[in-house]
Amino acid sequence: MFYWLPAGFLGGLGILYFLALLVRNFGRWLGGHARLQAIRTALGMACLPWLLLCCLLTASLFSGMDAAAVASFWPVFFVLFIYSYVLLLLSVMTVLGIGALRTTLTLAISFVVAFFLLSAIARVFFSPV
């Protein structure tokens, strides 16, 4: 019944390591220098509010509330989303030692590359034959 929990845990760790590798490599292109362990720590700690946001949204959706009641909490979710992104930006900016614009560009490039690469891999492995 809960077979997806270990898969989600292992998948999340794999994505964290992969994204840290991408952030380090693209950050080096833009003048940042950091160890991979420091980037993994920064990404992991900065993603904790995202975990809270996902848990709140999941709990509100699966608690039997109707969609209108969940939609009335949009200011809370919006503030948590902005707070989480700013925390992610500041932590990666501190670790890489570059400015906010370069860090934003580094994160954007890393997320785009990770999304397209992981979606291509998922399409190869999980598409019907």
Domain spans of the chain? 47-115
Which pTM was predicted? 0.80
pLDDT for 40: 92
By CB neighbour count within 10 A (0-12 exposed, 13-18 middle, 19+ buried), where does 3 fall?
A: exposed
For residue 45, the tally of other CB atoms under 10 A from its CB is 12
Mean pLDDT (10-residue bins), the chain, 129 residues: 78 90 93 92 89 82 80 85 91 93 94 92 84
